[in-house]
Amino acid sequence: MKSSEELRSSLRRIDRKSYPAYKQLKGEYRFARYRLGIDHVQGDPFAAPSKVRIEVEGGQAGFAPELYDTKEKKTALEDFLLCGFSARLREFSFQTKGSGKSGLMAVSHPGAEVLERTGCRIDGQSGGVTIRMEIGFPANGRTVNSRELEKIVFDFLPRCVEKTLFYPALDGKKVKQAVELAEDQTAIRRQLGEKGLVAFVANGSILPRETGVSKKPMKDAVPFQSPKEMEVELKLPNYGNIRGMGIREGITLIVGGGYHGKSTLLKALELGVYNHRSGDGREYVISLESGMKIRAEDGRSVKNVDISMFINNLPNGKDTVHFQTEDASGSTSQAANVVEAMESGSRLFFIDEDTSATNFMVRDELMQRVVHRESEPITPFVERVGEFFEKYGISTILVAGSSGSYFHKADCIIQMNRYEPVEITALAKEEAKAFPLPAGAAEPIARPDFNRVIAPDRKFGADGRIKMKTMGMDGISINRDTIDLRYLEQLVDTEQLCTLAQMMKYIRLQMADGKRSLRETIDSVLETLAEDGIEKICGGSYLPGNLAMVRRQELFACVNRWRELKL
């Protein structure tokens, strides 16, 4: 390892040379209280920025082991440090002169959800802190401007590091609060199963967002208050006793007039699969981690999925036990989404009537009289929802605003009235007696067969070159084959899409042997992540700093939407 002064000498030696001279800087350098690693140097000032790593040894960083001795506390501390470093870094980005990306200084900027990221890592043994970031090495045209890079490396960067990565420089109370919040959130999630709940919403939570595209809590919003009939009390290790609405296992229906908060409550619940940072308003909105949002998805690719529990006897004779299409309809796509969620191990479905296929959800009595059951290939979800819970242990939380059919099936009915929840189960059940469901019921059906196998493809990556890129939150491209992820509503960060791209590459190159089932493949990938870290998945000479972990459910969903993949 070289010294910081050797780095300074190298910078002055290459000043005004051709831009590729920056390549000489690759390596590690010892500064007074940390190490600087230059892992990758961009080949051009207009290319993707250079990759840089900062490492602070545990003894220097000074974080007590009890701040990172469990996975959830470690992730929360990493998120806290990354947020602080990111905020500080923005003050210096582009403060130097030059062409192209000269002077750019960037690191992961976490959102409201607390995710495990490669942008910041804490060593669970020593307490050492590693930050991975990007720097646009300055240039004049395509000539090295190392005087400006020297300003970044020896002035801007040290000021960021000293203020954000050493415990004595931080507000110890805020650090402790972030870690304790994560511990409490984990305690709630653990108690869900113990108390027969699938979700919890604490009294006082702020669920509405500032705008439709903002993640900030709405100012002057109505704080959430549980109906007395549904209120439960949980004991947390740090917060103490907390009260709020407990949603029990089974079928929960959320109804109410338009703009009264039905979808707002559902959105908070579906994002409750993640922990949230303090100040978000939804810190204590917690759902089962395996919960999956189910919706219609016209035009998606479906590969070898057994949707026969919902769709049978198609007029064209198409097989629905091994259903395949490159252009699914609303009903077939939603049926596939349900079955694939089952395959991923989900124990909770979130469904909003607004984003569902009507003919998949219900068929009223008049329609059944005109179009007889034997002429309709679709068995609506209303006829299966009870079976999902009773037979498979899968609960459903469903928002409905126009159809009352689910009143008959629901175990609990909540009416949202001006953002205030009211428990109306008994009232709704009594009113529903005057509107009985159509006679007849769907016959029980066996659990779908989950033995799909990823077929090998010798052509994929045969030349060793695989091009991957993300397209915002819309999807990822692998060798120009686009995987559309727009409708996976529980993906919350573009860095999760970067991780999915790495996972797809790894699965395609390392796991697609035609022998393991899709379930076994996903299990193997997740075991590799747990044992060897995401470094094993990525390969390459350095670990990208722009990756955020995804759940098992999104990994399954991404594989299922890859048109190039053969299942």
pTM attached to this predicted model: 0.95
Q: Among 107-111, 122-126, 360-364, name the one with the lowest average pLDDT.
A: 360-364
CA–CA gap between residue 360 and residue 464 (Å, rounded): 44
Q: Is the pLDDT of residue 208 over 80?
A: yes
Q: Among 128-132, 221-225, 281-285, 516-520, name the one with the lowest average pLDDT.
A: 516-520
CA–CA gap between residue 181 and residue 193 (Å, rounded): 20
Q: Among 7-16, 443-452, 502-511, name the one with the lowest average pLDDT.
A: 443-452
For residue range 335-376, list pLDDT tens digits in order. Answer: 999 999 999 999 999 999 999 999 999 987 667 767 766 667
What integer best gives the mean pLDDT of the chain? 94
CA–CA gap between residue 567 and residue 563 (Å, rounded): 10
Is the Cβ–Cβ distance between 225 and 243 less than 8 Å? no
Tokens 């304790």 -> residue: 180
CA distances from 500 to 413, 465, 483, 545, 556 (A): 37, 18, 10, 14, 10
CA–CA gap between residue 165 and residue 180 (Å, rounded): 19
Confidence of residue 317 (pLDDT cuts 50, 70, 90): confident
